[in-house]
Amino acid sequence: MKILTNTSLKPYHTFGLALNAKEIIKAQKADDFLQIWKQKPDEPKLVVGEGSNLLFCEDFAGVVILNCLKGIEVKETSTEWLLHVAGGENWHDLVSWTIEQGMPGLENLALIPGLVGSAPIQNIGAYGVEFKESCDYVDVLMLDSGKTQRLSAKACEFGYRDSIFKRQLKDKAIVIAVGFKLPKQWEPVIGYGALSELNDIESLDAKHVYNKVCQIRRSKLPDPKEIGNAGSFFKNPVVATSLADNLRTEYPNMPSFGVNDSEVKLAAGWLIDQCGLKGHRIGGAAVHSQQALVLTNIGNATATDVLTLAQKVVDTVYDRFGVTLEHEVRFMGRTAETNLEVICLP
């Protein structure tokens, strides 16, 4: 493990807010996590990948541990490629590498920021594909026993931007590796949005899909290296079919996606856009002018700026549509995770 002398959190979360931790440590092997928990039993602790889905709401009064586990192993059967990938590998680099190696299946998830170890926690998804569809297993380090345990994809209880790691195993297990199954019989998923344009390509392959996804994401989403952000800030809300039907009478062009017989998923970005909030600014924080689902740090934003803007968006959407938005981004308080509902804003 490596203890860093600089405790600024700015380089370790993509919002780039000027906040600090009491201590920052790089975990370079699985045993490093156990040593940290053993040596600092009473300190608040937070494992961070690249901080791409994280908002620090204030200085963190504990230890931030950076997941730096590396390594990719590949096996294959007659029908599948089997990958074992360490949790500290960069997600997009993994997607790019699999495409280069002729192992398709992850192309729709290109350019999602973060590490491989973060993917199962959030069950990341984009353009009609979710992480769970390629997941074979997740290896976790159980902090109470110090043992490594392999969870099947089913045992991870994946849901929409959800998993067992957000619930029963929250703060109890660390993702140290992920197993993937990528079928050799590839089937493109191009029914979502602009990807449908690829229907006209005769010899469509995964590289075409990968390039199109990258093109779309780069045109809509700001690069966190240039403009601080955490990607999609809010979840697409799931509402009762009756509410969606009522809204369609007034907004016939409202995007919606059936979930089941009684629920419908709405597009949070569309709802925010209809409220005229694109470009709306509070202090150094603003709703992105191209993609209303993204909140940005455009000028030395403070955590309070971002939180106040988020509350403004939630309140405005509710007042107009009667729909409550939930933040997809994790909120981290001084000692533990928190949420917008319990934060006291000035």
Q: Which residues are catalytic?
A: 161, 232, 328
What SS3 string covers the chain?
A: CEEECCCECHHHCCCCCCCEEEEEEEECCHHHHHHHHHHCCCCCEEEECCCCCEEECCCEEEEEEEECCCCEEEEECCCEEEEEEECCCEHHHHHHHHHHCCCCCCHHHCCCCCEHHHHHHHCCEECCEEHHHCEEEEEEEECCCCCEEEEECHHHCCECCECHHHCCCCCCEEEEEEEEEEECCCCCCCCCHHHHHHHHCCCCCHHHHHHHHHHHHHHHCCCCCCCEEEEECECCCEEEHHHHHHHHHHCCCCCEEECCCCEEEECHHHHHHHCCCCCCEECCEEECCCCCCEEEECCCCCHHHHHHHHHHHHHHHHHHHCCCCCECCEEECCCCEECCCCCCCC
Residue 276: which region, alpha, beta or left (left: phi > 0; alpha: psi -120 to 50)?
left
Cβ(168)–Cβ(152) below 8 Å: no
Q: Which of 66, 179, 53 is nearest to 114 (CA)?
A: 53
Say how many Å lie between the first and final Cα of the chain, rounded.
39
Tell me the C-alpha distance between 294 and 296, whole Å: 6
